[in-house]
Structure 1
Amino acid sequence: MGPGASPEGWPLDDRGVAYGDGLFETVLLRDGAPQLWAYHLARLARGCRVLGMPMPTQHDLERPLAQAGEGLAVLKLILTRGSGGRGYAPPAAPDPRLRWQLSPFVPDAARWKAGVRVRLCRLRLGLQPALAGLKHLNRLENVLARSEWSGADTAEGLLCDSEDRLVEATCMNLFWQRGGRLETPRLDRCGVAGTLRAVLLERLPIAEVDAAPGVLASAEAVWLGNSVQGLWPVTRLDGPEGEARQRWTIGAVHRRLQAVAHAPLGHPTRLDD
C-alpha cells in the first residue's frame, strides 16, 4: 500500500477487482485544493448514473483532502459497485466501495516547453456508446496500446476506434488546429471525456469532429492534455513502427492554448521565458 493510501484492502469478491465494475478519478491537488473539482464530481456522478450506482457523499469524497500537504499531489479515487450479486448480475442494492491514494506529483516542465513525440498505435478501440466518455475501470485497451512502445523518446500513443477515427491518446485527450480552427475528436462512441477537455470546450470555440489520422497532416498545431499534466505541444508524429510522419515547430499558437488550459490548473501560463 503506497503512501497516503486509504487503509482498507480489496476483497476478492469486489466487483471492481473481478469485473472492472466501477469508476475512477485522478485529481490534481495544489496545496490540498482539488483542481477542476466540480468537473471531476460531475463526471463521476454521470458514471454512477450510467452504471446504476449510488454517488458517494461529498464528505466521503473530500475526506482524503485533509491528508494532503503543501505543494502538488495527485489524488486517485476508485469507486466500485462493492461486493455481491451472482456472476455478472449486479446486486439489487449495491453497497459501493470507495478507496483512494495520494501521491506526490512533479509536472514534466520540459514537455510543456519543448513539446513531445507521439506515435499512432496499432490497437483500435471498440465502440460502446453506453460507456463513451466515462472514466470506468475497464482500461485493458489502454494497457495494450501503451505496451506497443517502451522508449522514453515517445511520450504518448494516439488511438483510433475500430472505424479508423481518431479518439484520444492512451491517457490524454487530443486537440489540433487546422485552417485556424481548433478541433478535438468526438467522444460519443468510446474514449474518456477529460475534465480539462470539458473546460476548454466551455471556454473556446473547439469543434468536436469525426476525423481519420490523416487530418493531422494538414494541422498547424497539435496538443495532448489532461487535468494533471496540463497541455503538451506535439512536435513529431510517428507511425506504428516508429517512422516519422509529421513534424511541427512550436509557436505562438501552441502557447495561446497552453495559457488557457494551464490557468485553471495553476500551471505556468507563460512558457517562453
Structure 2
Amino acid sequence: MMLVDGQPQGRVDALDRGLLYGDGLFETIRFVDGMAPLWPRHMQRLAESCERLRLPAPDAGLLWREAQSTVQGLADAVLRITLTRGVGARGYAMPGAPHVTRIVAAFAMPEVATAAYRDGVRLHLCETRLAEQPLLAGIKHLNRLEQVLARAEWNDPAIAEGVVCDLHGHAISATAANLFAVIDGVPVTPRVNRCGVAGVLRAELLAVMPQAQVRDLLLTECLAAGELFLSSSVRGILPVQAVGDRVFTPGPVARAMQVHWRGLGFTREQA
C-alpha cells in the first residue's frame, strides 16, 4: 500500500523537486508484526536530516499512523518514508514556503536465505567510488546514483553486496549497508562524515559496543581484518564470507550482534 500526502495513490506531480533535483530524503524501516523496534532512531535521523536540508519535518505521530495503515496485513514489512520539497518554481532556488510531498509505502520483506546469516555473504569490491560532500554525508538523501552504479558492477546472484570506498582508498560501506571490521579484537566502523550513510542499526550497535572505534578504515586494513560484517536496518547483521578472493569466517562479534538484533524483536532471522 502507498500513501501520498495521506491519500491512497501512487503518483506525484511531474514537477516535484524530488523528481527534478533529488531534493529530499528517505527512511527505510523494518516492521515485524506491526512493530518497528528502531523507529525512534529512524525518527531522530529523519528530523536531523530535515534540519540539514532545511526541509520542514513532518509530525512523527502522523508518520506512525500512516505507517500502521500501510503495513496492515503484512507480518514482515519494509516501510519507506520519502519526503521531497514538493513542487516549486523552475530552478534550483528553494521555495520560500515549500509544501512537502510525503510518501509512505509498505512492501513485503524480501526473503534473505538463512545461510546468509549462518555462513555469511560474498561481497564484490566495487570500482565505483563515493565522492565527498560533508553537507550531505550521513543522511539518506534521494540521490543514490553512486549506489546504483556500484550495484550495476555485478549480476552474480551468489554475490549479495559490494564494498565501496572513497577517493582516498578508505572502505566506507556496502552499497546498502554499513560495514564493521574487527581488527585485533576491536570493532571498527568507517567514519561517514565526508560520504556514506550513518545507518540507524550502526548507531544501535555503537551504543551497545562502547569499545568500538569510528575512524578512517583503509581498504587494506579492512581486507586484513579478523572478521567483517554488515549492518542493515532491514536485513540485520550479515557476516561476510568473502570479499573477492579474500575469505573470512563469521566471528564472535558478528554472532553477538546477531543475538542483539534478535533481542530487539527481529526474531525471524536465525543464524
User: What TM-score comes out, normalization by structure 1 length?
Assistant: 0.91
- Deviation string 1:212-268 (CA, Å, 9 cap, x unpaired) is 110023211100111110011001111xxxxx1x11123434312221233224236
Residue 230 of structure 2 is aligned to residue 230 of structure 1? no
Partner of 2:260: 260
How much has 1:192 moved relative to structure 2? 0.6
Q: Which residue of 2 aligns with 1:110?
A: 115
Which residues in structure 2 correspond to 1:148-159 (within 5 Å)? 148-159=153-164
Q: CA separation of 1:35/1:139 partners in 2, compared to 1, >3 Å: closer, same or farther?
A: same
Question: AA paired with 2:22?
Answer: G
Structure 1 contact 24–137 (Cα < 8 Å) conserved: yes
What's 1:129 paired with?
134
Question: What CA distance in whole angstroms lies between the structure 1 residues aligned with 2:48 and 2:220?
Answer: 33
The answer to whether the aligner puts 1:93 opposite 2:73 as a matched pair is: no
1:83 aligned to 71, 81, 87, which one?
87
Q: CA separation in 1, counterparts of 2:256 and 2:219?
A: 24
| Residue 196 of structure 2 corresponds to residue 194 of structure 1 | no
Correspondence for 1:208 among 193, 205, 214: 214
Q: What is the CA–CA distance in structure 2 between the aligned matches of 1:212 and 1:136, rounded to whole Å?
A: 25
Give 3-state SS (helix, strand or coil) of 2:264's partner: helix
Q: What letter is aligned with 1:155?
A: A
Residue 50, structure 1, aligned to residue 55, structure 2: no
CA distance in structure 1 between the aligned counterparts of 2:204 and 2:60, rounded to whole angstroms: 22
| Aligned partners of 1:230 and 1:265 also within 8 Å | no
Alignment check: 8 A CA contact 1:255 1:270 kept:
no
199-208 or 253-262, larger mean C-alpha shift? 253-262
Q: Which residue of 2 aligns with 1:16?
A: 18
Partner SS state of residue 94, structure 1: coil
| Residue 90 of structure 1, CA deviation | 1.0
One-letter amino acid of the structure 2 residue matched with residue 81 of structure 1: R
Show CA shifts across 1:83-119 (max 9, x none).
Answer: 1133111101111010121111144122111210002
Residues 119-154 of structure 1: CA deviation (Å, up to 9, x unaligned): 210011000001110001010000000000001011
Q: Which runs of 5+ in 2 are unaligned?
A: none
Q: Give, in whole Å, the separation in 2 of the partners of 1:210 and 1:174.
A: 12
- 1:69 maps to 73
The 8 Å contact of residues 230 and 267 in structure 1, kept in 2 or not, is answered as no
Q: Percent identity among equivalent residues? A: 40
Point out where structure 1 has 5 or more consecutive residues left out of the alignment: 239-243
Relative to structure 1, the CA distance from residue 70 to residue 150 in structure 2 (aligned partners, 3 Å threshold; closer, same or farther) is closer
Q: In the alignment, does 2:162 pair up with 1:160?
A: no
Q: Residues 167-202 of structure 1: CA distance to partner in whole angstroms, max 9, x if unpaired?
A: 111000000101010000011001011110010111
* SS of alignment partner, residue 242 of structure 2: strand
Task: State the match for 1:241 in structure 2.
Answer: none
Q: Which moved more, 1:106-115 or 1:86-95?
A: 106-115
d(CA) in 1 for partners of 2:154, 2:138: 25
State the TM-score, normalizing by the size of structure 2.
0.92
What is the one-letter code of the residue matched to 2:58?
P
Kindly indicate whether the alpha-carbon contact (under 8 Å) linking 2:118 and 2:270 is maintained by their aligned counterparts in 1. Answer: no
Q: Is the 8 A contact 1:124 1:161 kept in 2?
A: yes
2:124 pairs with 1:119 = yes
**Number of equivalent positions:** 262
